[in-house]
Structure 1
Amino acid sequence: MTSAASPHLTGGPETLVICGRVDADRAELTPRGELVHGCADILARALAGLPATVARVDLDMAGVHFMDTAGLQFLDVLADHGRRRSLTVTATNWNGQPRRILELAGLDTTDPLTGLAVTDPLAAAPPTAPASSAVALERAECLHVLQEEVEQLRQAIASRPVIDQARGILMATHGCTSDEAWHILRETSQLSNTKLRDVAAAVTASAEADGPPPSPELRTALHRAVARRRRGTGKAT
């Protein structure tokens, strides 16, 4: 039996689509897209639509290219489904950024459900309250780290256009390559203790007609970075 993703299994554009195939008592689901807000609900609907005869659910995660902390809820839904139905559930073939998130969360990147799925109800209960508190604190710390990394990724994506513009301006102004312009921006950021995006924004603004010049600190750092790059490449100043 083969079933394509139906509308109720599909999120918004570029979010998440889950296709399913059932062979005897095994269901193979292939999510494609992003594990972001709403992904756990999409998975829950996909699991609810499986035949009652299914005794094993395997997810091939190779088609997932991005996830934030909602991906952990996605895994919780899958693990909970396995516990409630007494099924074997797996989620394998993680790659790229999602694999990095699993590493930060301290989960097994081969199959993170090995750290979440519990088949023995007695094993699910922590022996003592302090142990439970320790687990909760560790989980909260992992979530905090994940949230910071996801936010950094989002900022990097948002900063890309202005950084590319600044690189183009430096290439035209100083006759350098794209890589050299990148190093100049980074070194200026380090020398002036200024965020890279702010350095790029200042360089871009100063190139506009009647645009404000960079601050004295940034100008000094930029001149030093350009001079160092020229010395390193053997170009005349």
Structure 2
Amino acid sequence: MTSAAPPRLAGKLTTLVIEARVDGRRALLAPRGELVHGCADTLAETLARLPAGIERVDLDMAGVAFTDTAGLQFLDVLNDHSHRRAVPVAATNWNGQPRRILELAGLDTTDPLHSTAHRPPCPRPGPGLAGVPAPARSAVALERSERLHDLEAEVEQLRHAIASRPVIDQARGILMATHGCTSDEAWHLLRETSQVSNTKLRTVAAAITSSAGTGGPPLPPALRAALRTALARLRR
């Protein structure tokens, strides 16, 4: 059984495909592609088609190469299914960029659905907090605020990346061929080069793509230096 989400931006997104098989009373789902707009609907359709009597659902996320904020909706659908059907659900084997998004969101990268399952409730202000100093509570709030800010910045960059996918995909291919790296590592190099040089990701990708063409302009010195730094960090 396989479900697929239609590519919402033709030629720019990799269609999400979810392969499903049943082993006894356990459903094994293997999503492949990208968690972008439409992925939550694809998951909901897959879950709805599972046979009656399923007592556990496991997702192997190793085949997911990219996610934006739709990935959180994907997890919401999975969590809702677990509560409505009263069945345990797990989503494991997150890698690359999707794993980074989970980290920025403060979720458990081994299984984000269980990140808050056993977390004690946040203490409320009042006389009962005599043993919890106010500065500690402020530090926790500050950490959460900073984490949210980092996540919002990352997601905003990802939105721009989706709109710029053709040139970014070309740049990734060039980096893979030039430096013998994987697709995930090429994405990492692009992001690191962008951050180190304080240059927009699309601008970095366009410069790399142009410089690879016959007679194309050389990579600007600042980007060349930033790329060297990114490569050094990757190979540590």
Report the Cα offset of residue 127 of structure 1: 7.6
1:54-93, aligned counterparts within 5 Å?
54-93=54-93
Partner SS for 2:89: strand
1:205-226 per-residue CA deviation (whole Å, 9 max, x = no partner) reads: xx79xxxxxxxxxxxx86xx99
* Root-mean-square deviation (Å): 4.6
SS state at 1:107 partner: coil
Q: What is the CA–CA distance in structure 1 between the aligned matches of 2:172 and 2:65, rounded to whole Å? A: 24
Which has the larger Rg?
1
Is there any run of 5+ residues in structure 1 with no aligned partner, and where?
166-177, 180-185, 209-220, 227-237
**d(CA) in 2 for partners of 1:110, 1:44:** 22
Counterpart Cα distance in 2 of 1:51 and 1:162? 44
Correspondence for 2:167: 158
Counterpart position of 1:10? 4
Comparing 146-155 with 84-93, greater Cα deviation is found at 146-155
Three-state SS of the structure 2 residue aligned to 1:50 is coil
CA distance in 2, matches of 1:27, 1:163: 35
How far apart, CA to CA, are the structure 2 residues paired with 1:23 and 1:164? 38
1:146 has 2:140 as partner: no
8 Å Cα contact 1:60-1:91 kept in structure 2: yes
Q: Percent identity?
A: 52
Q: Distance in 2 between matches of 1:80 and 1:42?
A: 15
- Unpaired stretches in structure 2, ≥5 consecutive residues: 8-13, 126-136, 180-192, 226-236
Residue 23 and residue 97 in structure 1: after superposition, are their counterparts in 2 closer, same or farther (change >3 A)? Answer: same
Partner of 1:230 in structure 2?
none
Question: 2 CA distance for matches of 1:25 and 1:163?
Answer: 41
- Change beyond 3 A, Cα 1:26–1:145: same
Following superposition of structure 1 onto structure 2, how do residues 92-171 of structure 1 map, counting pairs within 5 Å? 92-115=92-115, 141=149, 143-151=151-159, 153-154=161-162, 155=164, 158=167
2:35 matches 1:27: no
Note the C-alpha offset of 1:15.
Answer: 1.6
- Whole-angstrom CA distance in 2 between matches of 1:62 and 1:80: 22
**Which amino acid letter does the alignment assign opposite residue 69 of structure 2?**
T
TM-score (norm 2): 0.58
Between 1:146-155 and 1:49-58, the stretch displaced more is 146-155
